[in-house]
Structure 1
Amino acid sequence: MPRSSVTGVATLVSMAALLPLGFVVWITIQTGWQTAIAMVFRARVGELLVNTLLLEAWTVPLTIVLAMTLAWLTERTNLPGARVWAWLAVAPLAVPAFVHSYAWISVAPGLHGLPAGVLISVLAYFPFLYLPIAAQLRRLDPAAEDVAASLGLGPWSVFFRVVLPQTRFAICGGSLLVGLHLLAEYGLYVMIRFDTFTTAIMDQFQSAYSGPAANMLAGVLVLCCLGVLGLEARIRGDERYARVGSGSARMPDRRRLGRATVPCLLIPALTAVLSLGVPLFTLGRWLEFGGAAVWRMEAIGPALVQTLLLAVAGAVLATLAAAPMAWLSVRFPGRRQRALEVCHYHVGALPGVVVALALVAITVRVAMPLYQTVFTVLFAYALMFLPRALVGLRASIAQAPVELERAAMALGRTPFQSVRQVTMRLAAPGAAVGMALVALGITTELTATLMLAPNGTTTLATEFWSLTGEIDYAAAAPYALMMVVASLPLTFLLHAQSRRAAGR
């Protein structure tokens, strides 16, 4: 496989990944700076910016505190049933954020605004922080804690001065995911009537399609995403906490909770009730209320089939698009490869509504026959979930020794054959995990599907959204339940892999 050919393919994928960002810049220039400034610097944008800042400022710290507390209790204490509570702390990932919102407004119809947004966002997104923090706590060598304790530091001082700094990377990475999800989420905040940039963009799009107002809001949203990325990089810093030297880290001793056992048990129990109990109770209640009539298989069946077809096709396309860059980044690391890799990753930080808005404008202005076609939908999925596929592939290819490729070529295989028959076969498990992650994202994706899907296309997410828009919560319940059931196996896989990576 000639390196130049792979680099050319990776460059084409990078250029495609830059389309949404390039669209925002181009549309701003086309609109004119005076018009763009007038649209951006207005009271409505100020309100949305305040809502966004307040949502981020409240949700991210609370999510960190909750995730760190649960991770500490389940990984570093003798909490009864720790493994069960650990699984229940990951399981909310199987419930789409807009299903959380649907459940809560069914239980408390008066729940709306910023407090509702913060509550539901914390319950929906804390597993994104719990997973990396818990994994990091498993990997920490307790020797540093023992040394700190021997120097006279109390338990709280040891935690804040030794343990917490070593989880900085995990906290920053998880917080970045949460922060970007808060910017991109649509269904959750529409249901509780809390205005964000994404909800405003969708409103503008539905009223004026790709009008200038929606495009300018998309530009501000991109700047917010870049701001979140920059803040995370600054807070993360470049400190190192790796253990250097011979020997191996021992397993930490679990701290005895003693009289605090019952109060500590209430924390994961209450979290499980609020994050899992409320959605499952609500779904069960609506299913019971609707009875057999809500299981309209003539509508549910096509939605399920189309969801699975789009998920599989999108996952395959995203994985194929990520493969050249994954191979280059492992086999030929360098400045050019890093630049191409950044282009692959940045699109994952853009909300789906921005990607979809860019593709709507491009297809309408340049390639009208592609507007609202399956090709455009799959192309959007491949761009949005490209980083998920790339991460899994890169890690698996890194574990496939390059010497095996060289040995295959020495035995008469061409470079392309050696990579396909040796490296890609060894990387298959990672590729499968990456495809599963992409498929999960597509199964619950809402905004891009609503904006780009051809007429007559139905997925579990869009049908659920259509029925909740008609306040037919009973009919929407089967679609929500099927999304949850389909997501549970992957959630269990993520939890199992997290423990396996830490040797537990």
Structure 2
Amino acid sequence: MTTTLRPAGASTPAGRRRARRRPPAVLLVPATLAAALALLPLGYLAVRALENGPGYAWDVLAAERTVELLGRSLGLTATVVALCLLLGVSLAWLTVRTALPAARLWTVLATLPLAVPSYVAAFAWVSAAPGLAGFTGATLALTLACFPYVYLPTAAALRRVDPAQEEAARSLGLGAWRTFARVTLPQLRPAAAGGGLLVALYVLSDFGAVSIMRYETFTRAIHTSYRASFDRTPAAVLSCLLVVLTVLLVVGENRSRGRAGHARTGSGTARPPLRLRLGRWTVPALAWCTAVAAAAVAFPLATLGYWIAVGNSATWEPARLWDAVQNTVTVAGLGALATVLLALPVGVIAARYRGRGARLLEQAAYAGHALPGITVALALVFFSVRYAYPLYQQLPLLVVGYVVLFLPLAVSATRSAVLQAPPVLEDAARSLGRRPLQVLREVTVPLAAPGVAAGAALTFVVIMKELPATLLLRPTGMDTLATRLWAETTVSAYAAAAPYAAALILVAAVPAYLLGRHRS
């Protein structure tokens, strides 16, 4: 059976009018503000990259080292994305659509790696097996830290797919595997592609894991250039190249997503889909889930437990640890709230409106995510010192930094949720005289609330783990778990760093656990 997919609501005259209509001001104004914030670091990069003239910038771009860094960064990114798609899609299918024993438990365990920072995972693996340092170790640490970005949206999409389509395919003679490949998998493409994009942007901007694994990428080279020289031009040029890569990735993801949207016009079937019995594949499936959970969660925790138990340099300071926990939760909560509020209009426009303007707004929102945190932080420091000095080293500037860095997390979740909400309900509300703000508040947001909440939880967890931007933008005297962990690790006091790492994982595990339990 061949399934034809069309943009949600675009097959009707009302849907075609909606696809061409300009977004209302209630969406356009805050979406433009979000895009402007995301593009702010680009202004700084343009000033720095061209301050010595275009010729000098071109020499940096054409240098052999830049070409080598490009190949190493793209190779690492492609490998991690491919592995994350394999892990995320396979685990989502096993936990949602098969009769896997203890599926609810495996669902929660598949989300818990979100609580493990990539630099903590890298430290755990390289301390146990120093030979992993390099490409292999960086790939391992980043894959185990990032695959939930694919798993969560894919599992959510699987739960929303109407099982009647699969049952119709099987009634026409297709087996379970062919039904999955020809009917289910095409409907998962937008969710999986969006998750893969987030993974790619994460890998391009990662600094901690590649530094600990001693694998040279753009981010590590940029950080080295900033610290080793007063000449900021080479680092700015490399950062501009990262922005170009980001735009290309977003455009590629948009093309892979196509114009397909998947929405029910009603509640769909009242019963859950029949779960596929694994039979003789039950033991291999359980072994696969166990291996992933052990490598991504159990092993880092066991390593930290070892350092806490046997390290002789550990100095427990409960008051300092508790202060760091409070600061971490506060800044992560404020950052997640601001990010979700600004991502909502961008996600709605990306899902409901077609045209160059809508695409530009969405692509602009992704601009800051591939930039290293240190580049975004220095851009905001430059802006605050010159144009908004009262914000310098204040909490609002740190929150803006988080918005710039992690806006795509919330935009992607919001867009996917809105795409799966029936647009005909919004049309009906408008036909009854509701204003755009009322439609957004009374129809769009309630329908997309689960996806928006998932984006907020993801953003909260990732902000807790952010390191370079927090180091540069935090108010004077404020320590978070990530900054305390890094301070101890830089002097090789691994046992002293272990309590902060363990606390970071435990605190971040709470929203990750709730997210996984809610989706199970």
After TM superposition, the score normalised by the length of structure 2 is 0.80
The 1-side partners of 2:34 and 2:98 are apart by 47
The 1-side partners of 2:26 and 2:266 are apart by 42
Q: Which amino acid aligns with 1:234?
A: R
**SS where residue 282 of structure 2 aligns?**
helix
Which residue of structure 2 lines up, in the alignment, with residue 139 of structure 1? 160
Give the conservation status (yes or no) of the 8 Å contact 2:222–2:238. Answer: yes
Cα distance change on mapping 1:373 and 1:213 into 2, 3 Å: farther
Which stretch of the first structure deviates more once superposed, 255-264 or 90-99? 255-264
Q: What displacement does 1:30 show? A: 3.1
Q: Which amino acid aligns with 1:248?
A: T
The 2-side partners of 1:222 and 1:478 are apart by 36
Which residue of structure 2 lines up, in the alignment, with residue 176 of structure 1? 197
**SS where residue 349 of structure 1 aligns?**
coil
* 1:308-387 alignment runs, 5 A limit: 308-318=329-339, 325=345, 338=358, 341-342=361-362, 345-347=365-367, 349-351=369-371, 352-363=373-384, 371-387=392-408
Which residue of structure 2 lines up, in the alignment, with residue 201 of structure 1? 222
The 2-side partners of 1:89 and 1:283 are apart by 20
Cα distance change on mapping 1:79 and 1:292 into 2, 3 Å: same
Cα deviations by residue, 1:313-332 (Å, 9 ceiling, x for unpaired)? 43455466567x479969x9
Unpaired stretches in structure 1, ≥5 consecutive residues? 500-504
Q: Which of these residues, 60, 65, 83, is aligned with residue 81 of structure 2?
A: 60
**SS where residue 78 of structure 1 aligns?**
coil
Which stretch of the first structure deviates more once superposed, 304-313 or 33-42? 304-313
Which stretch of the first structure deviates more once superposed, 295-304 or 486-495? 295-304
**SS where residue 248 of structure 1 aligns?**
coil
The 1-side partners of 2:346 and 2:200 are apart by 26
Which residue of structure 1 lines up, in the alignment, with residue 309 of structure 2? 288
The 2-side partners of 1:217 and 1:234 are apart by 26
Cα distance change on mapping 1:6 and 1:270 into 2, 3 Å: closer
Structure number with greater CO (CA < 8 Å, separation at least 6) is 2
Which residue of structure 1 lines up, in the alignment, with residue 296 of structure 2? 275
Q: Which amino acid aligns with 1:203?
A: T
The 1-side partners of 2:414 and 2:244 are apart by 29
Which residue of structure 2 lines up, in the alignment, with residue 502 of structure 1? none
Which stretch of the first structure deviates more once superposed, 52-61 or 32-41? 52-61
Which residue of structure 2 lines up, in the alignment, with residue 98 of structure 1? 119
Cα deviations by residue, 1:425-466 (Å, 9 ceiling, x for unpaired)? 989988877665544332211121223335543211011112
Cα distance change on mapping 1:348 and 1:495 into 2, 3 Å: farther
Cα distance change on mapping 1:404 and 1:285 into 2, 3 Å: same
Which residue of structure 2 lines up, in the alignment, with residue 19 of structure 1? 40
* 1:440-455 alignment runs, 5 A limit: 440-455=461-476
Which residue of structure 1 lines up, in the alignment, with residue 182 of structure 2? 161
The 1-side partners of 2:326 and 2:187 are apart by 45
Give the conservation status (yes or no) of the 8 Å contact 1:313–1:378. Answer: yes
Q: Which amino acid aligns with 1:486?
A: V
Q: Which of these residues, 239, 246, 249, is aligned with residue 225 of structure 1?
A: 246
What is the total number of aligned residue pairs between the two structures?
A: 490
Q: What displacement does 1:89 show? A: 1.2
The 2-side partners of 1:193 and 1:264 are apart by 34
Which residue of structure 2 lines up, in the alignment, with residue 211 of structure 1? 232
Give the conservation status (yes or no) of the 8 Å contact 2:84–2:147. Answer: yes
Q: Which amino acid aligns with 1:452?
A: L
Give the conservation status (yes or no) of the 8 Å contact 1:328–1:337. Answer: no
Q: Which amino acid aligns with 2:88?
A: A
Q: Which amino acid aligns with 2:362?
A: V
Give the conservation status (yes or no) of the 8 Å contact 1:87–1:495. Answer: yes
Is 2:150 the counterpart of 1:129? Answer: yes
Q: What displacement does 1:357 show? A: 3.2
The 1-side partners of 2:133 and 2:183 are apart by 40
Q: Which amino acid aligns with 1:105?
A: V
Which residue of structure 2 lines up, in the alignment, with residue 465 of structure 1? 486
**SS where residue 213 of structure 1 aligns?**
helix
Q: Which amino acid aligns with 1:377?
A: L
Q: What displacement does 1:392 show? A: 7.8
Unpaired stretches in structure 2, ≥5 consecutive residues? 1-23
The 1-side partners of 2:370 and 2:473 are apart by 16
Which residue of structure 1 lines up, in the alignment, with residue 51 of structure 2? 30
Is 2:67 the counterpart of 1:46? Answer: yes
The 2-side partners of 1:210 and 1:451 are apart by 19
Identity percentage of aligned residues: 40
Q: Which amino acid aligns with 2:370?
A: L
Q: What displacement does 1:182 show? A: 0.6
**SS where residue 132 of structure 2 aligns?**
coil
**SS where residue 18 of structure 1 aligns?**
helix
Q: What displacement does 1:51 show? A: 0.9
Give the conservation status (yes or no) of the 8 Å contact 2:247–2:367. Answer: no
Is 2:134 the counterpart of 1:113? Answer: yes
Is 2:509 the counterpart of 1:488? Answer: yes
Cα distance change on mapping 1:129 and 1:9 into 2, 3 Å: closer
Cα distance change on mapping 1:166 and 1:314 into 2, 3 Å: closer
Give the conservation status (yes or no) of the 8 Å contact 2:343–2:411. Answer: yes
Give the conservation status (yes or no) of the 8 Å contact 2:369–2:407. Answer: no
The 2-side partners of 1:337 and 1:490 are apart by 35
